Amino acid sequence: MIIKIILLTLLTLLASNIGTFAGFGISTIMIPVLLLFFKLPETLLFVGILHLFDDIWKIILFKKGIRWKLIISFGIPGIIASYIGASLILNISQIVLSRILAAFFLAYVIFIIIKPNWKLRESYPIATIGGTLSGFFAGIFGVGGAIRGIFLSAFNLPKEAYLFTAGAISAVIDITRISKYVVDGIRIDNYILIGMILFIPASFIGAYLGYKIVNRIPQKYFRLVIGIFLLIISLKLLLFP
């Protein structure tokens, strides 16, 4: 049990670090690993809790990038969609969804390589679509941040605004889906609850290291960094759904 807690702490540290400077990724890293040891519902609850804390750290560390209108237009549809997605986790093929999502990510990465200066107009309808899709995929199999990353990076936001907005929207969606999991009777083992004493501080340390990395990345290269992580995630979901 102690060895499992130590390994989970190290995994949390790594995932939180990557998830902070990319704006997404903690679920994508942790869920495939944890599914080797836990069932999907328990995995989604456990990772959802850690993901929520990682959101909180982003909000604190990148508070200068606050954009309320964007948060609201993403967040409200995201809440509704995440609740619907969380209600369907036991009734839909995860493999099919993973591959559809992978194809979408891959197409976007190729597109921004061809047209690096392309951007979406920062508008409510576009944000609503992004919030709905990211909320739904977050609820149904825990990976919604990459969808949100596509829409936010398409706005070509300043990196602080991108990361704060990603954290704030994700926090609202995570609270919704975690509540739904618990209401539906999903629980995690007691030793995992005890391990939170280490997991939560580890998530903060990882987030802080990610914050330091972000400060060293020039704004003009930041979108490229997001594209690289989207490419990695798309290949992972396509080959190993």
pLDDT at 199: 94
Asked if the model's pLDDT at residue 207 lies above 70, the reply is yes
| Higher per-residue confidence, 96 vs 192 | 192
Task: Give Dmax (Cα) for the chain.
Answer: 50
Looking at residue 80, the DSSP 8-state letter turns out to be H
Chain segment 14-44, per-residue pLDDT in tens: 888 887 766 666 777 787 778 778 887 888 8
* Least trusted range by pLDDT, from 35-44, 73-82, 136-145: 136-145
Asked if the model's pLDDT at residue 129 lies above 70, the reply is yes
Q: Crossing angle for the helix pair 219-239 and 94-114, nearest 10 degrees?
A: 150
| Higher per-residue confidence, 116 vs 38 | 38
Q: Is the Cβ–Cβ distance between 188 and 45 less than 8 Å?
A: yes
Chain-wide mean pLDDT for the chain? Answer: 80
pLDDT at 97: 67
Q: 107-136: string of b/e by CB count within 10 Å (b at 16+)?
A: ebbeebeeeeeeeeebeeebbbbbbbbbbb
Q: Is the Cβ–Cβ distance between 174 and 55 less than 8 Å?
A: yes
| Higher per-residue confidence, 206 vs 159 | 206
| Nearest residue to 43 via CA among 57, 32, 58 | 32
Domain parsing of the chain, residue ranges: 2-239
pLDDT at 10: 92
* Least trusted range by pLDDT, from 14-28, 55-69, 193-207: 14-28
What are the structure tokens assigned to 147, written together? 């969808």
pTM above threshold 0.75: no
Residue with tokens 């990353």: 149
CA dist 74 and 76 (Å) reads: 6
* Least trusted range by pLDDT, from 49-53, 117-121, 179-183, 232-236: 117-121
What are the structure tokens assigned to 167, written together? 């954290």
| Nearest residue to 52 via CA among 16, 89, 95, 7 | 16
CA dist 93 and 88 (Å) reads: 10
CA dist 186 and 206 (Å) reads: 27
| Higher per-residue confidence, 65 vs 59 | 59
- Best-predicted range by mean pLDDT (124-133, 193-202, 226-235): 193-202
| Higher per-residue confidence, 137 vs 112 | 137
- Best-predicted range by mean pLDDT (84-98, 191-205, 208-222): 191-205
| Alpha helix positions (H), 124-216 | 124-141, 145-154, 159-183, 190-216
Q: Please, which pLDDT band fits residue 196 given cuts at 50, 70 and 90?
A: very high
Q: Please, which pLDDT band fits residue 120 given cuts at 50, 70 and 90?
A: low
Asked if the model's pLDDT at residue 200 lies above 90, the reply is yes
| Nearest residue to 134 via CA among 104, 106, 112 | 104
Q: Please, which pLDDT band fits residue 69 given cuts at 50, 70 and 90?
A: confident
Asked if the model's pLDDT at residue 219 lies above 80, the reply is no
CA dist 87 and 113 (Å) reads: 36
